Amino acid sequence: MQSTHPPHPPASWSFPPGARSCPLIIAHRGDVSGAPENTLPAFSGAHRRGADGIELDVRITRDKQLVVFHDRALKRIAGRRGLVSNATLDEVRELDAGEWFAPRFRGEKAPTLDEVFELLPPGYLINVEMKAVIDNMRLIAHRVADVIRRHGRWGSTLVASFNPISLWELRKIEPRIMRAYIWSRRHPPPIRSRCFSPLVQAHWYDPADGSYNPGLMRRIRARGVRTLAWDIDFGGDLSRMAAARLDATVTDNLEPLLRQRRKLAG
């Protein structure tokens, strides 16, 4: 399949806010149109198609290891009752994370973050969302930082979370890692007020779908913070995103955005 990358794809999440003529296109959980979400085939597919980067989710297992998995429960993806946090890494990886999507993905395993980093080029952009509420909200930051250090993926990794304490811990233990604060207007107070933002000192603001606010984006841009927003907040219109000088967009519908980018580039 022909790559649709721009001539010089970025190798870092660090650039001046509003500087891009077209936002980065980030594949949410990989290329989910062609492979099961949060699996190695989905990530390699997004890279091959020409996405600027991928987004993925990590959780802590019972034996305190990282696994790439979105849901708190195993049922939707792996067909087993129980929580990821109540299973060991080996137990999670024994489950089939691909057959639910299509028979040809039968036997696909939930990957580790190490495996994802080993799969993709060092300069390829990866947005790691830490999934933590109360349990392990500090430990997950340490585990993610350890993997990033081990692979030396400083500029190409952005670590995001709804949990400001996890991001605060990450900032304390490894300030070189770029941080993204995910915010939703559906959050309960006081989180909805973003009162913990001074703890996080985020490099990116990452509004959940339906939470994008152009006025807020202008205010945070004035403070040198970039914005990663959902394509659905702009009706999937890349021209509108470019006009707003959005820094990056995350999408479940990768190919339509890539087609629009080719037209804009042409």
Question: Domain of 150: which CATH number?
Answer: 3.20.20.190
Number of domains into which the chain is organized: 1
Q: Which of 5, 8, 28, 47 is catalytic?
A: 28
54 contacts 26 by C-beta, under 8 angstroms: yes
Active site residue 70: yes
Beta-carbon contacts of 260 under 8 Å, excluding residues fewer than 6 positions away, are 237, 238, 239
17 contacts 246 by C-beta, under 8 angstroms: no
Beta-carbon contacts of 129 under 8 Å, excluding residues fewer than 6 positions away, are 55, 56, 57, 58, 159, 160, 161, 182
pLDDT: is 176 or 10 the higher one?
Answer: 176
What three-state secondary structure class fits 165?
helix
- Name which of 6-20, 92-106, 162-176 the model is least confident about: 6-20
Q: pLDDT value at position 2?
A: 41
Q: pLDDT value at position 191?
A: 66
Domain that includes residue 109, residue range: 24-265
Active site residue 8: no
220 has which bridge partners?
Answer: none
Answer yes or no: is 12 within a domain.
Answer: no
Answer yes or no: is 47 within a domain.
Answer: yes
Exposed, middle or buried: residue 86 (CB in 10 Å: 0-12, 13-18, 19+)? exposed
Exposed, middle or buried: residue 56 (CB in 10 Å: 0-12, 13-18, 19+)? buried
Average pLDDT on 235-250 reads 97
CA-closest candidate to residue 230, choices 250, 255, 211, 210:
250
Beta-carbon contacts of 198 under 8 Å, excluding residues fewer than 6 positions away, are none
Looking at the chain, the whole-number percentage of residues with pLDDT higher than 90 is 87
pLDDT: is 6 or 190 the higher one?
Answer: 190
pLDDT tens profile 39-85: 999 999 999 999 999 999 999 999 999 999 999 999 999 999 999 99
Answer yes or no: is 16 within a domain.
Answer: no
162 contacts 130 by C-beta, under 8 angstroms: no
What is the pLDDT of the chain when averaged over all its residues? 93
Q: pLDDT value at position 247?
A: 97
Q: pLDDT value at position 129?
A: 98
Answer yes or no: is 17 within a domain.
Answer: no
Q: Which of 5, 47, 70, 142 is catalytic?
A: 70
Answer yes or no: is 167 within a domain.
Answer: yes
Q: pLDDT value at position 196?
A: 79
Q: pLDDT value at position 5?
A: 45
E strand spans, the chain: 24-28, 53-60, 66-68, 125-130, 157-161, 178-183, 204-207, 226-230, 248-251
pLDDT tens profile 102-142: 999 999 999 999 999 999 999 999 999 999 988 899 999 99
Report whether pLDDT(3) > 60: no
User: What is the residue type of 57?
Assistant: D
Q: pLDDT value at position 159?
A: 98
Q: How confident is the model at residue 4 (pLDDT cuts 50, 70, 90)?
A: very low
Answer yes or no: is 13 within a domain.
Answer: no
Average pLDDT on 237-257 reads 97
Answer yes or no: is 232 within a domain.
Answer: yes
- Name which of 87-96, 135-144, 185-194 the model is least confident about: 185-194
pLDDT tens profile 188-218: 766 666 777 888 999 999 999 999 999 989 9
Answer yes or no: is 1 within a domain.
Answer: no
